[in-house]
Amino acid sequence: MLIVGLGNPGAKYEKTYHNMGFQVVDRLAYLLGAQIKDKTCDALVATFFVKGEKVIIAKPQTYMNLSGVSVKQLLNSNKMKPEEAVIVYDDVDLPIGNLRLRKEGSAGTHNGMRNIVAEVGATNIPRIRVGIGHDDFGGELRDMVLSKVEPEYRGKVDDALENAAYALRDYIENRDFDAVMRKYNSHKNK
């Protein structure tokens, strides 16, 4: 099983909207007592076993728009199929703080996911989208996703990040993405 959080490397991007995927997998690693520190396939990774199955948590270091390069390498080097991965990323088309889990689908407007679909050549990749959409930002989309989360939204974002990490932990432990979707797709922050 491969769990990939999308984001941009470097302190400049740490707490930005576009780094929701990195923040979720960091929380997941903490929950599981893992450290994402090894380097392979253009990613920082943690590798461990749960119930005899290999689990890899990864943070691609290729920058968001080339995330597929790292994901393809990780899948190939571990002889995994696209459906054995879960990609976690921000989604401006979802209200801030909401989660949306799907087993497959198009990349939508997200450039990182678009690159993954193009590189891997498949859309049957499970994903967890963390909503970052809100009406308060009047600038360009690029500026918004690369900005730090505003204090008034921090609570909603923290709740979403925590819920996404718990959803991934449940999936790793139980291997039932349908059950995880039923449970966590209902998590909507008001």
Give every CB contact of residue 107 below 8 A, 6+ residues apart in sequence: 113, 114, 116, 117, 123
Q: What is the pLDDT of residue 186?
A: 65
The count of other CB atoms within 10 Å of the CB of residue 135 is 7
Q: What is the pLDDT of residue 118?
A: 97
**Looking at this protein, which amino acid is placed at residue 97?**
G
**Burial (0-12, 13-18, 19+ Cβ within 10 Å), 133:** middle
Active-site residue identified among 18, 110, 134, 187: 18
φ, ψ dihedrals at 22, nearest 5°: -60, -45
Q: What is the pLDDT of residue 153?
A: 93
How far apart are alpha carbons 163 and 130 in whole angstroms?
10
Helices 177-184 and 154-174 cross at an angle (nearest 10°) of 160
Give every CB contact of residue 111 below 8 A, 6+ residues apart in sequence: 64, 65
Q: Taking Cα atoms as reference points, which of 1, 76, 14 lies closest to residue 40?
A: 76
Q: What is the pLDDT of residue 190?
A: 43
Contact (CB, 8 A) for 96 and 157: yes
Q: What is the pLDDT of residue 135?
A: 73
Q: Taking Cα atoms as reference points, which of 86, 90, 95 lies closest to residue 108?
A: 90
- Domain 2-184 indexed as CATH 3.40.190.10: no
| pLDDT per 10-residue tile (average), the chain, 190 residues | 97 94 98 97 96 96 97 98 98 93 92 97 97 78 85 95 98 95 74
Q: Which pTM value belongs to this model?
A: 0.94
| Known catalytic membership, residue 134 | no
